[in-house]
Amino acid sequence: MTTIAYRDGIMAADSQVTGGDVVRGTAKKIFRINDLLVACCGGSDEAEEFRQWLRAGAAQGDRPRFRDDSRFSAMTVDADGAVNIWNKFCVPQLADAPFHALGSGNELALGAMAFGASAEQAVNVACSLDIYSGGPIQVEYLHANANAGRSAEIIEVPAKFKAKAKAAVAAMARGPVGDLS
Protein backbone atom coordinates (compact mmCIF):
# COMPACT_ATOMS: atom_id res chain seq x y z
CA MET A 1 0.00 0.00 0.00
CA THR A 2 1.90 3.10 1.15
CA THR A 3 2.77 5.43 4.00
CA ILE A 4 1.85 9.11 3.97
CA ALA A 5 2.60 11.47 6.86
CA TYR A 6 1.97 15.17 7.47
CA ARG A 7 3.33 17.38 10.21
CA ASP A 8 4.28 21.05 10.55
CA GLY A 9 3.69 22.00 6.92
CA ILE A 10 5.53 19.01 5.48
CA MET A 11 3.97 16.02 3.71
CA ALA A 12 6.08 12.91 3.12
CA ALA A 13 5.33 9.63 1.36
CA ASP A 14 7.15 6.49 0.37
CA SER A 15 7.39 5.76 -3.35
CA GLN A 16 7.04 1.96 -3.48
CA VAL A 17 4.43 0.49 -5.83
CA THR A 18 3.19 -2.90 -4.68
CA GLY A 19 1.03 -5.35 -6.61
CA GLY A 20 -0.16 -8.16 -4.36
CA ASP A 21 2.94 -9.05 -2.37
CA VAL A 22 5.40 -8.03 -5.09
CA VAL A 23 7.27 -4.72 -5.37
CA ARG A 24 6.50 -3.38 -8.86
CA GLY A 25 8.61 -0.20 -8.82
CA THR A 26 8.30 3.36 -7.58
CA ALA A 27 6.00 6.30 -8.29
CA LYS A 28 5.36 9.88 -7.21
CA LYS A 29 2.59 9.93 -4.60
CA ILE A 30 2.29 13.60 -3.54
CA PHE A 31 0.85 16.19 -5.95
CA ARG A 32 -0.13 19.87 -5.89
CA ILE A 33 -3.66 20.29 -7.21
CA ASN A 34 -5.71 23.50 -6.97
CA ASP A 35 -3.64 24.88 -4.04
CA LEU A 36 -3.82 21.53 -2.19
CA LEU A 37 -1.16 19.01 -1.26
CA VAL A 38 -2.70 15.66 -2.25
CA ALA A 39 -1.54 12.10 -1.53
CA CYS A 40 -3.47 8.85 -2.03
CA CYS A 41 -3.36 5.26 -0.79
CA GLY A 42 -4.77 2.25 -2.60
CA GLY A 43 -4.88 1.44 -6.27
CA SER A 44 -3.02 3.72 -8.67
CA ASP A 45 -6.06 3.79 -10.98
CA GLU A 46 -8.27 5.07 -8.16
CA ALA A 47 -5.66 7.62 -7.12
CA GLU A 48 -5.48 9.00 -10.66
CA GLU A 49 -9.28 9.16 -10.92
CA PHE A 50 -9.45 11.04 -7.59
CA ARG A 51 -6.76 13.52 -8.68
CA GLN A 52 -8.57 14.16 -11.99
CA TRP A 53 -11.80 14.77 -10.06
CA LEU A 54 -10.03 17.31 -7.81
CA ARG A 55 -8.52 19.06 -10.86
CA ALA A 56 -12.04 19.32 -12.36
CA GLY A 57 -13.40 21.04 -9.24
CA ALA A 58 -14.51 18.08 -7.08
CA ALA A 59 -18.25 18.41 -7.71
CA GLN A 60 -19.98 15.94 -5.35
CA GLY A 61 -22.37 14.81 -8.09
CA ASP A 62 -19.41 13.80 -10.26
CA ARG A 63 -17.33 12.10 -7.58
CA PRO A 64 -15.57 8.85 -8.49
CA ARG A 65 -17.31 5.57 -7.71
CA PHE A 66 -14.83 2.99 -6.48
CA ARG A 67 -15.33 -0.76 -6.07
CA ASP A 68 -16.91 -2.06 -2.86
CA ASP A 69 -13.61 -3.71 -1.91
CA SER A 70 -11.59 -0.53 -2.56
CA ARG A 71 -8.88 0.37 -0.05
CA PHE A 72 -8.66 3.93 -1.35
CA SER A 73 -8.03 6.83 1.01
CA ALA A 74 -6.44 10.22 0.52
CA MET A 75 -5.09 13.16 2.47
CA THR A 76 -5.38 16.76 1.32
CA VAL A 77 -3.91 19.83 2.98
CA ASP A 78 -5.12 23.29 1.99
CA ALA A 79 -3.06 26.50 1.98
CA ASP A 80 -4.12 27.23 5.58
CA GLY A 81 -2.89 23.83 6.78
CA ALA A 82 -6.34 22.26 7.20
CA VAL A 83 -6.09 18.49 6.72
CA ASN A 84 -8.90 16.43 5.22
CA ILE A 85 -8.94 12.64 5.12
CA TRP A 86 -10.97 11.21 2.23
CA ASN A 87 -12.58 7.75 2.21
CA LYS A 88 -13.41 5.48 -0.73
CA PHE A 89 -16.71 7.35 -1.19
CA CYS A 90 -14.72 10.58 -1.78
CA VAL A 91 -16.20 12.18 1.31
CA PRO A 92 -13.76 14.35 3.28
CA GLN A 93 -13.43 14.52 7.03
CA LEU A 94 -11.59 17.44 8.61
CA ALA A 95 -8.83 16.00 10.80
CA ASP A 96 -7.81 18.23 13.70
CA ALA A 97 -4.61 16.79 15.17
CA PRO A 98 -0.96 17.84 15.47
CA PHE A 99 0.11 15.21 12.91
CA HIS A 100 -1.48 12.74 10.51
CA ALA A 101 -0.69 9.50 8.66
CA LEU A 102 -2.42 7.17 6.18
CA GLY A 103 -1.71 3.84 4.55
CA SER A 104 -0.35 0.47 5.56
CA GLY A 105 2.44 2.07 7.60
CA ASN A 106 0.25 4.70 9.26
CA GLU A 107 0.43 3.28 12.79
CA LEU A 108 4.22 3.10 12.61
CA ALA A 109 4.40 6.69 11.31
CA LEU A 110 1.98 7.96 13.97
CA GLY A 111 4.01 6.25 16.68
CA ALA A 112 7.22 7.80 15.41
CA MET A 113 5.63 11.27 15.29
CA ALA A 114 4.26 10.77 18.81
CA PHE A 115 7.92 10.42 19.86
CA GLY A 116 8.84 13.63 18.03
CA ALA A 117 9.73 12.48 14.52
CA SER A 118 9.12 14.77 11.56
CA ALA A 119 6.87 13.60 8.71
CA GLU A 120 9.84 12.42 6.64
CA GLN A 121 11.43 10.66 9.61
CA ALA A 122 8.10 8.97 10.38
CA VAL A 123 7.81 7.63 6.82
CA ASN A 124 11.41 6.42 7.03
CA VAL A 125 10.58 4.51 10.24
CA ALA A 126 7.47 3.00 8.61
CA CYS A 127 9.51 1.97 5.56
CA SER A 128 11.95 0.15 7.81
CA LEU A 129 9.17 -2.06 9.26
CA ASP A 130 6.21 -2.11 6.81
CA ILE A 131 6.73 -4.45 3.85
CA TYR A 132 4.25 -2.45 1.73
CA SER A 133 6.18 0.83 2.09
CA GLY A 134 9.63 1.58 0.72
CA GLY A 135 11.71 3.26 -1.96
CA PRO A 136 12.89 6.86 -1.92
CA ILE A 137 10.82 9.18 0.26
CA GLN A 138 9.08 12.11 -1.43
CA VAL A 139 8.81 15.32 0.60
CA GLU A 140 6.61 18.31 -0.28
CA TYR A 141 6.26 21.55 1.63
CA LEU A 142 2.86 23.17 2.14
CA HIS A 143 4.33 26.53 1.18
CA ALA A 144 6.76 26.11 -1.70
CA ASN A 145 9.11 28.82 -0.37
CA ALA A 146 9.46 26.91 2.93
CA ASN A 147 12.12 24.76 1.27
CA ALA A 148 14.40 27.75 0.58
CA GLY A 149 17.92 26.88 1.63
CA ARG A 150 17.02 23.34 2.68
CA SER A 151 18.35 20.28 0.96
CA ALA A 152 15.82 18.06 -0.81
CA GLU A 153 17.69 15.00 0.45
CA ILE A 154 15.91 12.58 2.71
CA ILE A 155 16.83 13.12 6.32
CA GLU A 156 18.19 9.93 7.88
CA VAL A 157 16.17 8.72 10.84
CA PRO A 158 18.20 9.13 14.02
CA ALA A 159 19.36 5.83 15.49
CA LYS A 160 17.28 6.49 18.63
CA PHE A 161 14.03 6.38 16.58
CA LYS A 162 15.04 3.17 14.82
CA ALA A 163 16.05 1.62 18.14
CA LYS A 164 12.78 2.70 19.79
CA ALA A 165 10.74 1.33 16.87
CA LYS A 166 12.51 -2.03 17.05
CA ALA A 167 12.16 -2.07 20.85
CA ALA A 168 8.43 -1.38 20.53
CA VAL A 169 7.97 -4.25 18.07
CA ALA A 170 9.91 -6.60 20.36
CA ALA A 171 7.93 -5.43 23.39
CA MET A 172 4.61 -5.96 21.60
CA ALA A 173 5.59 -9.55 20.98
CA ARG A 174 6.18 -9.96 24.73
CA GLY A 175 3.15 -8.02 25.99
CA PRO A 176 2.08 -4.42 26.80
CA VAL A 177 4.55 -1.70 25.78
CA GLY A 178 6.02 0.38 28.60
CA ASP A 179 7.93 3.65 28.51
CA LEU A 180 10.31 3.71 25.54
CA SER A 181 12.22 6.85 26.53
- Domain at 126, CATH number: 3.60.20.10
Confidence of residue 20 (pLDDT cuts 50, 70, 90): confident
Given a cut of 60, whether residue 142 has pLDDT beyond it is yes
Q: Which residues pair with 74 in a beta bridge?
A: 40, 86
Is 181 inside any structural domain? no
Count: domains in the chain = 1
Is 112 inside any structural domain? yes
Instruction: Tell me the pTM.
Output: 0.80
Given a cut of 70, whether residue 50 has pLDDT beyond it is yes
Range of the domain at 127: 3-174
Confidence of residue 166 (pLDDT cuts 50, 70, 90): low
Strand order in the sheet with 3-7: 99-103, 3-7, 10-13, 138-141
Q: What is the phi-psi region of residue 8: left when phi exceeds 0, alpha when psi lies from -120 to 50, beta otherwise?
A: left
Kindly state the helix (H) or strand (E) to which residue 54 belongs, with its residue range. Answer: helix 44-55
Q: Per-residue pLDDT averaged across 126-146, rounded?
A: 91
Given a cut of 60, whether residue 39 has pLDDT beyond it is yes
Neighbouring CB atoms inside 10 A of 11's CB total: 26
Is 102 inside any structural domain? yes
